Amino acid sequence: MKKIRNHIEELFKDVPKTEQSEIVKQEIIQNLEEKVMFLMENGKEEEDAINKAIVEFGDIEELKRELGVKKSDNKKSNFAKLNLSYSIWGSGLLIALFLFINFYYTPKTIWFVYPTFGLLWWPLSMYFYWQRKK
């Protein structure tokens, strides 16, 4: 019943290896193997019985919550953090460019402040997006 073991190992790949999680994993494997034996005694082929036991078992999201595993939204959170840092650096460079152009070409008129206010919305919106994804 290597297929059952491989399936359970795949389901538990992001669960930290603790004594409790190993006990739960072994109990699940044992229960699935017993179910396969029961289905085979009632006339199912071995492959069909294994597949039916796996399908009826479903997923382990509730079990993961009980074991203390958080959902893995790290990818989205990291992407949001990358967006935030990109927006901070990008708006900073653009503001510096406007500042340079303003004081180099028209030092008597201060106009760089106006596009600066517009540019500050970009990192501000990315900050709130990042906070929501955390």
Residue 45: both structure tokens together: 């082929």
Its pTM stands at: 0.50
Would you say residue 1 has pLDDT above 80? Answer: no
| Every domain of the chain and the residues it spans | 2-66, 74-133
Would you say residue 127 has pLDDT above 80? Answer: yes
| 4-55 pLDDT, tens digit each | 888 888 888 877 788 888 888 899 899 999 999 999 999 989 899 888 888 8
Phi-psi region of 68 (alpha: psi -120 to 50; beta: other; left: phi over 0): left
State the amino acid at position 12 in one-letter form.
F
Residue of 97, 89, 88 whose CA lies nearest to 129: 88
| 59-97 pLDDT, tens digit each | 777 777 777 666 655 566 788 888 999 999 999 999 999
